[in-house]
Amino acid sequence: MDEVKFTPVLMIRPALDDGTGALRNADIKVIGLHGKNDIEIQNVIEIASRRARRDNLFDQVVVADLTNKSNLEMIQEQVARALNLRLSDGMWYRWRCYQTGTSIIADRARQICEQIRRKGRILIILHNLFQSFDIEQVGIPFGDTHGGCKILLASTNEEVIKHKMKTDTIISL
C-alpha cells in the first residue's frame, strides 16, 4: 500500500483560508495564530503576507520577529526596525526624558504610533510571541484609533495567544 504524503501547503490550507478571511474581515482587528510547529507558523505568515500583498489588502505588511527575551523596549525596537523607523535613543534622549518626567516607553510608543498612522492600510505581524504585552504600550494603534491597521500575533505558546492577548479571532494549526 502506498503511503500518502501531504505537502506543507495542503496541511496548512484551512489555516490559510481562515487567515485570509480574517484579513479581509473589517470587524477583525487582531488575529491570533497558534501552532505547535514554528515552521508551519512561518509558512502561514509568509503565504498570508504574499496573498495580502497580491490582493492589495494592505499598503504595507510589516513583520517583527520577537525573541523569548523581548521586553517592551525590545519589541518597540523590532517594530520600529520593520517600519524603517529610527527611534530616538542615546544618553541625551534618556536624560531629556528623565528631566521632563516622560516615560521612555511612552515616548517611543508615540513615535511608532505616529509612523503607523501616516501609513494607510497596514498589516503588522508579530511573530514568536513568548509572553503577553499591551499592544498599545508598544505604540501600535488599532481598532477605532486606526481603522486601517490589522495585527497578526503568532506564537507556539498557546496560553499567550488564547488567554493573555486580546484577539478578535484565533486560528490554530
The DSSP code for 145 is G
Looking at residues 39-48, what average pLDDT do you find? 85
pLDDT of residue 13: 64
**173 pLDDT more than 70:** yes
- What is the amino acid identity at position 38? D
| Nearest by Cα to 136 from 160, 110, 162 | 110
Choose between 1 and 165: higher pLDDT. 165
- What's the predicted TM-score (pTM) here? 0.81
pLDDT, tens digit, 9 for 90 and up, residues 148-163? 788 999 988 888 888 8
| Nearest by Cα to 126 from 158, 101, 151 | 151
Q: Model confidence at 109, in pLDDT bands (50, 70, 90)?
A: very high
**7 pLDDT more than 60:** no
Provide φ and ψ at 116, rounded to 5°: -65, -40
pLDDT of residue 94: 84
